[in-house]
Amino acid sequence: MSPTPAGERPVNLFPPTWPPRRVWITVASLVAAIALVRAGWLEPLVGQIVDQAVRNILTLILGFAAIMSVLGWFLWQSGHSRRAKRAVGWGALGAVALACALFRIERVSGDLVPEIVFRWTPPRDRLLPRMDAKPAAVESTPWVARPEDSPRFLGPRGDCGLDGPALAADWNAMPPRLLWRRPIGAGWSGFATCGDHAVTLEQRGDDEVISCLTISTGESEWSVAVAARHETVLGGIGPRSTPTIRDGVVYATGATGWLHAIDGATGTVLWRKNVVDDLGIDPAAHAAAVAWGRAGSPAVTADLVIVPGGGPLEPPASAAAVSLAAYDRATGARRWTAGHDQISYVTPEIRTVGGRDVVLAVNEARVVAYDPADGGECWGFDWPGHSNSDASCSQPHVLDGDRIFISKGYGVGAALFVRDAADGATITFRPAWSQPGMLKTKFTNVAIHEGHAYGLSDGILECVRVADGARAWKGGRYGQGQVLRVGDRLLVQAESGEVVLVECTPAKHRVLGRIDALTGQTWNNPCLAGRRLLVRNAQEAAAYEVP
């Protein structure tokens, strides 16, 4: 063999059939990176909070890179025969093509874990029978409100908390009793109640449906359907807002823009309005900007129904978007519009701040207060977000009329804003504290009790002191579920469908009992009306009597 000329690298005439050290170093580095990501050690390196969904995406990318490192070496640098390389290469391509042909992603969890089904499997909501509206009764009894009613999103006050009833402290000795269970259409709406009536929204095929059930039996009373369907892989199928009931009238907003006013006693539509059309919003552009469907429930006053607006507006409109729209309760006529910020997924609320009633709205990137009389802007402050990526979904809490607690996921966490002394007509807020690593409420809410906030922080239950943002404890993995405070107890609706009773105390995380309330992915808020707990997800609903 002739010597290799100086300056030239020797040519390996016999490439190895086993991966060399450089390939194993690459694979080992990627595996180590996966371990860092899964253990949460990546956050100090990148200098920001990384939630579980991002960890899962990074794990997938790094794992794919490790596999491709070995496969790439095998196909282009190994000493295996050309026939073997061709077989492995075409086999890998064939396996990918076959998987794409046979399977599809039905939906993903809150942490972006996909649910894989065969391509020919229809969505569950298309397997349900179409709901036909029942005719109005000749003699109908008007709905009469009761003290134990839960007539709106997040309970009677809309703050994720109820003062009673006093729940038993041991569900193991006295478990909740199942009253009924029934199939239901897709969607992430919760229940609103009035007396023995419960109302929710669901998707059945191409119809978006407002449906009313009898709480004691689960039997259908009436339904109102409109041709509309919202569907995305990341956000799921169907409506995601909870109806509001006032004076026996049901007000409901759908995922694509429909707003209904329905007489609860008869199921008769009093009026309906497509908010997207009414405001002159470009439907396709709006669906891309507010990617996971309109989720804000109606805020109902003595004479108005206030809902999120949206955008972008179609030409020749000069503004980019409308933040809020107010409609006459009796007629559905539009009374005013407010703001030019894009909407988020938060429900507008009537709150008293600085001694004045305002419509408090969390828009795409700002928290803003509007005058309920005419929609004029009173004050606002920045709260970062984009409604097609790092979206705001959590309701703000007004404390003592001068402080606003707010939280969200996507690396923002929780913060407390304090009202500065008013300078003439100007009201400003400044952050008292901000904790990016605490109460990362991705699309859930917090309950506040005796100076502490309780919520699912990226799926883990956490208790934080409101005054200074100090963490009291963190424990219990429940996924991207929901919470509801009942006195000094906390009902945790886990993403898995389980309902867990937790003591509402800053001392420690203490579980008092649990039930397998539902089967399957559950992002819906629970509803407690007296002793009757109503739960649902995208495929079934159930009622329990709690001890």
What's the pLDDT tens digit per position in 350-390?
999 989 999 999 999 999 999 999 999 999 999 999 999 99
What is the Cα–Cα distance from 275 to 254, expressed in whole angstroms? Answer: 10
pLDDT, mean over the chain: 92
The confidence score (pLDDT) of residue 78 equals: 87
Q: Three-state SS string across 52-64, please?
A: HHHHHHHHHHHHH
Q: Do 240 and 188 form a contact (C-beta atoms < 8 A)?
A: yes
Q: Is 502 helix (H, G, I), strand (E, B) or coil?
A: strand
- Please count the other Cβ atoms lying within 10 Å of the Cβ belonging to residue 533: 25
Query: 318 vs 118, which has greater pLDDT?
Result: 118
For 304-322, write each residue's pLDDT tens digit: 999 999 999 998 877 799 9
What is the Cα–Cα distance from 46 to 372, expressed in whole angstroms? Answer: 44
138 pLDDT above the threshold of 50: no
The stretches of 251-365 forming alpha helices (DSSP H) are 275-278, 283-289
For 165-187, write each residue's pLDDT tens digit: 999 989 989 999 999 999 999 99
The band of 139, judged by pLDDT with boundaries at 50, 70 and 90, is low
Q: Do 207 and 226 form a contact (C-beta atoms < 8 A)?
A: yes
At 189, list the tokens. Answer: 């709406």
At 124, list the tokens. Answer: 């569950």
For 53-96, write each residue's pLDDT tens digit: 888 999 999 999 999 999 998 889 888 889 998 999 999 999 99
The confidence score (pLDDT) of residue 422 equals: 63
Does domain 149-545 fall into CATH 1.10.1200.10? no
Instruction: Identify which of 189, 184, 186 has the alpha carbon closest to the alpha carbon of residue 153.
Output: 189
Widest pairwise Cα distance in the chain: 107
Phi, psi angle pair for 402, to nearest 5° = -130, -5
Q: What residues contact 404, with CB distance under 8 A and at least 6 apart?
A: 353, 367, 396, 397, 398, 416, 417, 429
Q: Is 329 helix (H, G, I), strand (E, B) or coil?
A: coil
136 pLDDT above the threshold of 50: no
Q: What residues contact 55, with CB distance under 8 A and at least 6 apart?
A: 37, 38, 40, 42
The confidence score (pLDDT) of residue 478 equals: 97
The confidence score (pLDDT) of residue 127 equals: 87
What is the Cα–Cα distance from 469 to 403, expressed in whole angstroms? Answer: 13
The stretches of 308-392 forming alpha helices (DSSP H) are none
For residue 165, what are the CA distances in angstroms to 147, 153, 217, 277, 512?
11, 18, 21, 43, 16
The confidence score (pLDDT) of residue 543 equals: 98
Domain with CATH 2.130.10.10 in the chain: 149-545
What is the Cα–Cα distance from 510 to 168, expressed in whole angstroms? Answer: 14
The band of 132, judged by pLDDT with boundaries at 50, 70 and 90, is low
334 pLDDT above the threshold of 50: yes
For the entire predicted model, the pTM comes to: 0.93
The confidence score (pLDDT) of residue 322 equals: 97
Q: What is the mean pLDDT of residues 251-275?
A: 97
For 479-497, write each residue's pLDDT tens digit: 999 999 999 999 999 999 9
The confidence score (pLDDT) of residue 134 equals: 63
